[in-house]
Amino acid sequence: MNLATIKDIQSKQAYPSVTITLPTYRTSPDNDKDPIRLKNLVSEAVARLEEEFGKRETADIAAAIHRLADEVDHEHNLDGLVIFASAEYSESFKLPFRVPERVSIEDNFVTRDLVYAMNRSPLYLLTVLSEHGSRLFVGRKDLLNEVHAYGFPFSLANTVASASPSQDISHVRDQIVADNMREIGDALAEAQKQIPAPIVVVGVDRNIGHFREGARNSDEVMLYIHSGHNEESEHQLAQHIWPQVKEALSQEREKVFADLEAAKSNHRFVDSLNEVWQAAIDGRAEMLVVEEDSSLAAEVSEDGRQLTLLPEGFTASERTYEDIVDEMIEKVLAAGGQVKFVDNGRLAAQQAEHGVVAVTRY
């Protein structure tokens, strides 16, 4: 699952939409209890559907939930499982990150936990430069998965340089490599459209030099690692580069606070709950910043522009939300904005009313 998939799921609107999330385990004996825990969540979801909407009216959704749960192969679980089910859409995903154990029934699918997990353990695009085969990987922490798309792997192994008597053959070779690096840069730009993640480039000094000269997006690279790791296995490569990538990602995350200060100076910063909500629904939120455990039950006014916080045990209706923060996240992403998560309490200095603030586009 990537951010493009999440955005597609967020676009699906139907009431009721059921989201089941479950933290799972990869190995025995920890994963022995996963089927029981999933069965309990399925029972909870179906019972809530039948109580609120009627057994006959929700029979198809309940059947889809049971089918998806029965299809899960718990011998090959990852770190999390999510099941989405509505009258129009049903699907399950195994996830390489932890999610909470819960059932949500809303007018759309709840994806906040997925977005948070992807930001907490963010993806990065890793390119290993080599004239014998430049490779692309999607990384999450010290795990790498090679991608055979967007033209990757790029190879010059069968390219023969030829020059006229007036040309220097070494210059011709350098130009071929520079052209190759420009193609790799363009391919990375295409990959980022589907996987919006920072770029890490690994290679020997010569190839990185050619990439900096040839790739149009070379200045957008988060980290250059000068090393010849191109022949290593995925596991070896990940172990070598992860400490440097981790530090670079940490520095990127801290930049959000500088962005907030700059937004204040430019009068593009909002911190009251209703202002943040209005920026989100109007498509004006360029960046939403959320404390990781911020969760607010709220009712939306008839005109859709004001929020009233609700106590525990509130009576659900079409204008109430178990977590209005999730709704804000979905609307910001749908409008092309960014969502950044920070540690609990980090927004106190920003006078955040409820652990959420926004930077507006204007």
302 and 184: one domain?
A: no
161 and 106: one domain?
A: no
Q: Of 104, 120, 136, which one is at a domain's C-terminal end?
A: 120
Spatial CB neighbours of 197, under 8 Å, sequence gap ≥ 6: 122, 123, 124, 125, 138
For residue 285, how many other CB atoms are within 10 A of its CB?
Answer: 29
Q: Considering the domain boundaries, does residue 259 fall inside one?
A: no
pLDDT of 2 reads 66
The residue range of the domain holding 211 is 123-253
pTM for this entry: 0.62
243 and 134: one domain?
A: yes
Spatial CB neighbours of 121, under 8 Å, sequence gap ≥ 6: 97, 140, 141
209 and 315: one domain?
A: no
pLDDT of 334 reads 79
Q: Of 100, 120, 140, which one is at a domain's C-terminal end?
A: 120
CATH number of the domain encompassing residue 52? 3.30.960.10
Q: Considering the domain boundaries, does residue 262 fall inside one?
A: no
17 and 116: one domain?
A: yes
Q: Is 235 exposed, middle or buried (0-12, 13-18, 19+ CB in 10 A)?
A: exposed
CATH number of the domain encompassing residue 279? 3.30.1330.30
115 and 143: one domain?
A: no
Assess contact for 285 and 359: CB atoms under 8 A. Answer: yes
Low-confidence ranges of the chain (pLDDT < 70): 1-4, 117-121, 156-172, 230
Could you give the CA distance from residue 90 to residue 100 in angstroms, rounded to a whole number? Answer: 20
Q: What is the pLDDT of residues 330-349, one digit of tens each?
A: 888 878 888 888 888 889 88
For residue 189, how many other CB atoms are within 10 A of its CB?
Answer: 15
pLDDT of 171 reads 65
Q: What is the pLDDT of residues 58-108, one digit of tens each?
A: 999 999 999 999 999 998 888 899 999 999 999 999 887 788 899 999 999
57 and 138: one domain?
A: no
Q: Considering the domain boundaries, does residue 261 fall inside one?
A: no
115 and 131: one domain?
A: no
Q: Of 84, 102, 120, which one is at a domain's C-terminal end?
A: 120
310 and 223: one domain?
A: no
Could you give the CA distance from residue 115 to residue 92 in angstroms, rounded to a whole number? Answer: 16
Calculate the CA 122 to chain-centre distance: 7
Structurally, the chain folds into a number of domains equal to: 3
Q: Considering the domain boundaries, does residue 258 fall inside one?
A: no
Instruction: Answer positive or negative: Cα dihedral of 150, 156, 158, 159.
Output: positive
Order of strands across the sheet that contains 338-342? 269-270, 356-360, 285-291, 338-342
Q: Considering the domain boundaries, does residue 260 fall inside one?
A: no
Which DSSP letter does residue 154 get? B
